Structures are given as C-alpha cells and as structure tokens.
Amino acid sequence: MGKRITWTHQAHNDRKEILLYWIHRNQSSAYSKKLNNLFKTAIQLIAAHPNIGRKTNIESVRVKLVKEYLLFYETAEEEIFILTIWDNRRNPEDAPYNT
C-alpha cells in the first residue's frame, strides 16, 4: 500500500491552469482528460514507490516527468506532498527547484 497523497494549494492550481489551458487551446477536453490521467497514473506510481523520482537540490524533494511537465513532490513519513507542476518549456532558471 502506498503513502497518502496531499496536494498543496499551489500544485492544485497548477494542474487546474494546465488543464484549462489545453481545453481552451484545443477547444476540446480530450487532451486535458488524457493529461490528467497521466498525472493520476504518475501520482499512483509515486505513492507506491516514493523514490522513483529524480532527486533535486532539496533532500526531501523529488521530481517525476509527466509528458512535458515536471511534477515536484516531497516525501514525509506517512504521506507525499505534491508541491507544484512545472512546464518544461518555461525558462529553467525560473524553476522552483534545481533538478
């Protein structure tokens, strides 16, 4: 059984903005649904295997690639915090964590 997942306010807003962007851009929700399922699958994998992500400059923070997005998460004793979702196409110098 995996650890409990908790979304931070920032990560929740990031996901919402990403999915809404693709709905408006494509005039369809098909890609957003597919992308959201990929996020869910990645999070299930992280919950079962917390060390699967690549290490960052912060010991407890790891990152998992989901398409062109980086999903940053922090592992704790009994839960995993989803911190933020970062679009890889943005300036890497502005990224919240060094990868």
In total, how many domains does the chain have?
1
The answer to whether residue 94 sits within a structural domain is no
The answer to whether residue 24 sits within a structural domain is yes
Q: Reduce the secondary structure of the chain to three states and give it as a string.
A: CCCEEEECHHHHHHHHHHHHHHHHHHCCCHHHHHHHHHHHHHHHHHHHCHHHCEECCCCCEEEEEECCEEEEEEECCCEEEEEEEEECCCCHHHCCCCC
CATH number at residue 17: 3.30.2310.20
The answer to whether residue 58 sits within a structural domain is yes
The answer to whether residue 51 sits within a structural domain is yes
| pLDDT of 93 | 75
Which residue ranges of the chain lie beneath pLDDT 70?
A: 1, 99
| pLDDT of 1 | 59
| pLDDT of 8 | 98
pTM: 0.90
